[in-house]
Structure 1
Amino acid sequence: MKNMILTLAVAVSIGSVTTVFANPESLQQDENKFTESFKQLSRDTAWEQKEKVDLQFNTYHPQGMTKIGDLFYMSSVEIIEKPVKYDEPREGYDRSTGRGIGHLFVFNQQGELLKDIKLGEGDMYHPGGIAFDGESIWVSVAEYRPNSESIIYKVDPNTMKPQEMFRTKDHIGGILRDGENGNLKAVSWGSRRFYEFNQKGKVVSKVNNPSHFIDYQDCESAGKENMICSGITELPQQGSSTGKYELGGLALLDMKTLEIEHELPISLVSSEEHNVTRNPVYLENKNEAIKLYAVPDDDKSSMLVYQTKLNKK
């Protein structure tokens, strides 16, 4: 999942950005190992914070993150005018469109911004979770309201140029490419629906999400048969009439059936008291350990890096 540290095949320099690609055979082998490693995680897993990288730019409201070589790619929405909820639905919508700008940021391990790619068009300015398939980064950009519309892009890390692939009639909150058949798996607003599209945008399947544990924010493939998703759900805080509690978690899903094979809660919180799986999450399998990268806070953000050891087999 999320592009483990692998045997490197080639590095391509584009201006100040160097993109490093992995050997496909090593990628598949390591992803299969990562699936088994992920299944060792549980609610009792101890995570140790290893780093806190202050991001040296306004991150706005981060959404999804992936990693290619030593570079991080993070989608984010800059909200200029927040959508306003209606007293009663209007034309099938529960709120106004608002206004904003979609971003795909590229930054290094020191938190320095290397590239800001603008995404979206008109009322569609809200990027979702992103994924790297070994060749391209996939990202959806939707209206900032449920049951709306989205543009699906893929971005070439060589040129950093986005290419519109298709549009669809729903808010797509996260998307990834199934490496086995080339189709795209996606989640709707709050991940209440799962979609499968072909690369021309035809809906191959559409099913309701049977799990209500967390709303998936960011998903990426984990080998041929699985994908891993992260996210939160907001619950009322006991003893408070206005406060909310963020329950975070990770889930391993079967890519074909979308059934959960393994899941666990995450209780780590940031200095702003957000659960670390609230926004982008990136997992890395390395040297008998799993590293978790997260950017849970908005605007003036830090990338928090945690690590847990695995049982040797």
Structure 2
Amino acid sequence: MDDQNLIAGFKKLTRSTKWVLKNQIELQFNNYHSQGMVRIGDFFYMSSVELIEWPIRYDQAKQGHDRTSGKGIGHIFVFDRQGKLVKETSLGEGDMYHPGGIDFDGTYIWVPVAEYRPHSQSIVYKMNPLTLKAEESFRVQDHIGGLVREGQNGKLIGNSWGSRKFYVWDSCGRQLLDKENMSHFIDYQDGQYVGDGKMIVSGISELVNPASKSKPFELGGLALIDLFTLETLHEIPITEISPQGHVITRNPVFLEIAAETIRLYAVPDDNDGSMLIYEAAI
């Protein structure tokens, strides 16, 4: 997507921006632990991980890992504006079952599927949205939790576990760059290319909650990032809360311009989640 109005509007957002809930659409299927989302026409494409066995932390690192691989199934769900499941498919291989944030370049949906642990490995797929046929594009020796396709020259920008590092590849998977993420505001979960060499990413940071030691405080946020420098141009906090008590930028988020507002679609809750639609005046 190339939308100068979205970029300009996003730059007007501040921590005082009022986000108004316009609709809550109950999903008519088990969405498991959703990860990334794009809208194509009247349909939403969402990646999700179905956990069969949670990874378990080791007392001491083993073979460079801090936890077991766990077991699961990676899904791509397609649903309509009423929350009805239209079709689905599975993605992954062996221990690589965790899809991340996704992006659509006008032809393909790009999906990273990784092991559910840091410093592991991933497969990058490109998927035909009409047939849901996925083709392996390349592999990465790290956990890639989110992926954005840059529309000017076809570069792919990925982020590692917790988005602590950015990677840049060409369309064949040749690594062009890796760079530490200098922002420690939030961990990026999902993202989208918005034109002019820029992407908008969303995510959360789990902070110590002085009111409840057992449950962290989730601070949400959005950031506009320059894809040439990989530096943050503008970022804002998000604090709106979902029906299950999560900040709304936890995992799948898709943004678009709508008249004089920015519209935000989000699916922050697991298993019996809803798609929440918020708008902010700009």
Tell me which amino acid in the other structure corresponds to 2:163: S
Q: Does 1:71 pair with 2:43?
A: yes
- For residues 241 and 250 of structure 1, what CA distance do their matches in structure 2 show? 26
Match for 2:45: what amino acid? Y
What are the superposed Cα offsets for residues 27-63 of structure 1, whole Å, 9 maximum, x if unpaired?
Answer: x3xx112100110111111111110000000000000
Number of the residue aligned with 1:117 = 89
Length-normalised TM-score, structure 2:
0.98
The question of 1:217 aligning with 2:182 is answered: no
**Residue pairs, 1:175-214, within 5 angstroms:** 175-214=147-186
Distance in 2 (CA, whole Å) between partners of 1:178 and 1:52 is 31
Q: Residue 152 in 1 paired to residue 124 in 2? A: yes
Deviation (angstroms), 1:234: 0.2
Which of 62, 66, 74 is residue 102 of structure 1 equivalent to? 74
Residue equivalent to 1:33: 5
Deviation of 1:237 after TM superposition, in Å, equals 0.4
Unaligned runs of 5+ in 1: 4-27
- 3-state SS of paired residue (1:34): helix
Q: Tell me the distance in 1 between the aligned counterparts of 2:61 and 2:4.
A: 46
Which residues of structure 2 form unaligned runs of 5+? Answer: none
- 1:161 equivalent among 133, 148, 151: 133
- Residue 102 of structure 2 aligns to a residue in which SS? strand
Q: Which has the larger radius of gyration?
A: 1
Name the aligned partner's letter for residue 54 of structure 1.
E
Match of 1:249 in 2: 221
Query: What does residue 237 of structure 1 align with?
Result: 209
CA distance in 2, matches of 1:156, 1:32: 26
Say yes or no: does 1:57 pair with 2:29.
Answer: yes
Mean CA deviation greater in 133-142 or 199-208: 199-208
Displacement of 1:159 in angstroms is 1.9
> For the residues of structure 1 that align with 2:7 and 2:228, how far apart are their CA atoms?
15
1:92 and 2:64 correspond: yes
Segments ≥4 residues shifted beyond 4 Å: none
* Percent sequence identity over aligned pairs: 55
User: Equivalents in 2 of 1:240, 1:40: separation in Å?
Assistant: 34
Q: Output the aligned Cα RMSD.
A: 0.8
Asked if 1:270 corresponds to 2:242, the answer is yes
Aligned residues: 282
Q: Deviations over 1:271-294 (max 9, x none)?
A: 211000011011110111111111
Match of 1:306 among 262, 278, 281: 278
What is the deviation of 1:241?
A: 2.7
2:82 counterpart of 1:139: no
| Partner secondary structure for residue 199 of structure 1 | coil
Does structure 2 retain, via aligned residues, the 8 Å contact 1:42–1:264? yes
Q: Distance in 2 between matches of 1:220 and 1:78?
A: 23
1:200: Cα distance to partner? 1.8
Q: Show CA shifts across 1:127-153 (max 9, x none).
A: 000001111100000000000000000
1:289 to 232, 251, 261: 261
Instruction: Please state whether the residue corresponding to 1:87 is helix, strand or coil.
Output: strand
**Distance in structure 1 (CA, Å) of the matches to 2:206 and 2:187:** 9
Q: Look up the match of 1:173.
A: 145
SS in structure 1 at match of 2:145: strand
Using the TM superposition, give the Cα deviation of residue 158 of structure 1 relative to its aligned residue in structure 2, in angstroms: 2.4
Report the 3-state secondary structure (helix = DSSP H, G, I; strand = E; otherwise coil) of the residue aligned with 1:190.
helix
TM-score (norm. length: structure 1): 0.89
Work out whether residues 171 and 188 of structure 1, in 8 Å CA contact, stay in contact via their aligned partners in 2.
yes
Does structure 2 retain, via aligned residues, the 8 Å contact 1:178–1:224?
no
Deviation at 1:243, TM superposition (A): 2.1
Return the offset for 1:203. 1.1
SS at match of 1:205: strand
> Match of 2:138, as an amino acid?
F
How many angstroms does 1:198 deviate by?
1.3
Q: Report the alpha carbon displacement of residue 84 of structure 1 after superposing the two structures with TM.
A: 0.4
Q: For each residue in 1:7-37, what CA deviation from the matched residue of structure 2 results, as whole angstroms up to 9, or x when unmatched?
A: xxxxxxxxxxxxxxxxxxxxx3xx1121001
Q: Is the 8 A contact 1:81 1:98 kept in 2?
A: yes
